[in-house]
Structure 1
Amino acid sequence: MILHGGLAALRLDGEWRGLLLVGPSGSGKSDLLLRASEAGFRPVADDRVVIWTVGDRLYGRAPDTLRDLMESRGLGVLPAATLPFSEIVLAVRCEASPEAVERFPQGETLSLLDRSVPLRPLWPFDPSAPAKLRRAMQHLGYDH
């Protein structure tokens, strides 16, 4: 299955864990992926993500034609050092405005190929968005 979105990974506890960025065209996915890569994440896929399952895990990678490429609006498509694939453990929905993001969002999930991953809303142009992504990944599974 191929999705319109981006995929970034963060190395935690010795493993690469993937963060799927979803939202409509122009919602800021590529911009957020670029800023996240400057904040310690590694890009895996930009614009399109090929997803598949192995057992109960969900994985993603770039389509062959987009491997090692990232779009930068205003500059075009540029080379990027990407990871070949990553497990997807979290999804972030890029929202159109800061007001669209609830202060305390409910525990939504995104279902893909009969697997579910936690889904969090985020305004991608928030200056703290990359830091929020890192914290979400570090505290994945933490419920208080």
Structure 2
Amino acid sequence: MSQLSSDLLHASCVAIGGQAVLLSGRSGTGKSDLALRLIDRGAVLVSDDYTEVRRRDRKLYATPPARIVGKIEVRGIGIVDMPHLAEAEVALLIDLDGAVERMPEAATRRLAGIEVPVFTLAPLEASAPIKVELLLKALAR
């Protein structure tokens, strides 16, 4: 039997190699900026600014709210149409609001009843997109 549960998060989301990365933070923290830089490196937009996460068959999936499908806000330009995925399985949550620790302990956050690995990064650092990719590779091991 399939269990359904969902949450709406204040998070942008991109898929890297088919795996969804949630970029969570307050308005103005750099969610869309980091998403745009990841897209430039080959990621695909799932949603910008808000993401619905749904538990289905013990997995968590990210989808865009209907009103923002295929759109991303680019500060200084406006709303831009962007190729997107309708859904991707969540692998990781990046917290853009917290203090970045030099050597962080493993942490998770419960979303729609599923524990998701969470790491805190400074979104506007030049290395932030590379750090996201490195985290995904490390989690895949």
TM-score of the pair, normalised by structure 1: 0.89
Counterpart of 2:130? 131
Moved over 4 A (4+): none
Give the alignment's Cα RMSD to 1 decimal.
1.2
The CA distance in 2 between the partners of 1:2 and 1:82, in whole Å, is 18
> Which amino acid counterpart does residue 3 of structure 1 have in structure 2?
L
2:12 to 1, 6, 9: 6
Deviation at 1:121, TM superposition (A): 0.4
What are the within-5 Å matches in structure 2 for residues 65-144 of structure 1? 65-95=67-97, 100-140=99-139, 142=141
> Which amino acid counterpart does residue 75 of structure 2 have in structure 1?
R
1:55 to 51, 57, 62: 57
Q: Is the 8 A contact 1:9 1:43 kept in 2?
A: yes
5+ residue gaps, structure 1: none
The CA distance in 2 between the partners of 1:3 and 1:123, in whole Å, is 19
Deviation at 1:141, TM superposition (A): 5.3
Counterpart of 2:3? none
Number of corresponding residues: 135
> Which amino acid counterpart does residue 19 of structure 1 have in structure 2?
V
Q: Secondary structure at the match of 1:139?
A: helix
Q: Is the 8 A contact 1:28 1:124 kept in 2?
A: yes
Counterpart of 1:31? 33
Percent of paired sites with the same residue? 33
The CA distance in 2 between the partners of 1:140 and 1:47, in whole Å, is 24
Q: Secondary structure at the match of 2:20?
A: strand
Deviations 1:40-70 (A, max 9, x none): 1111100111111111110011111100100
TM-score of the pair, normalised by structure 2: 0.91
Deviations 1:110-131 (A, max 9, x none): 1111111000000000101111
5+ residue gaps, structure 2: 1-6
